[in-house]
Structure 1
Amino acid sequence: MTFKRKHSEVWAFCTCTAGQNGLYCKHRMHLLQGVVDGMVADDLEKLSVLAGGLRDSRVMKSLA
């Protein structure tokens, strides 16, 4: 999973089948919503970095 931000725009890229086909996947949506159940990586501390990077983004405004 890769997230990129430029100004208030955020892009998320997932390597799952849906993500590779340009579709929204549950993996991206779960991370954007802070859901970590079933997360297989040991990068839980990076979730707070992700949350901080999403602050004031259009993504967070649309999820609110």
Structure 2
Amino acid sequence: MPLFSAIVALTVAIAEDPWVTTSSPADQGGHWRTISIPDGGGIAEYLIIPAEHSILLTRVTPF
């Protein structure tokens, strides 16, 4: 899968369930999460904002 498509699919998965089982807590703590981009494409970081029922994708680092 091309990297752009993998990032889009990951973004959709996070929007559907921000507590994706493959994600882990980020160093910032709280509702910050990190997740690997499939097929070794890199990592992404995002913030879950429960009060607004939203997700903020803050960083995508392709490898």
> Normalised by the size of structure 2, how large is the TM-score?
0.31
> Normalised by the size of structure 1, how large is the TM-score?
0.31
Higher relative contact order, chain-length normalized (CA < 8 Å, sep 6+): 1
Higher share in strand:
2
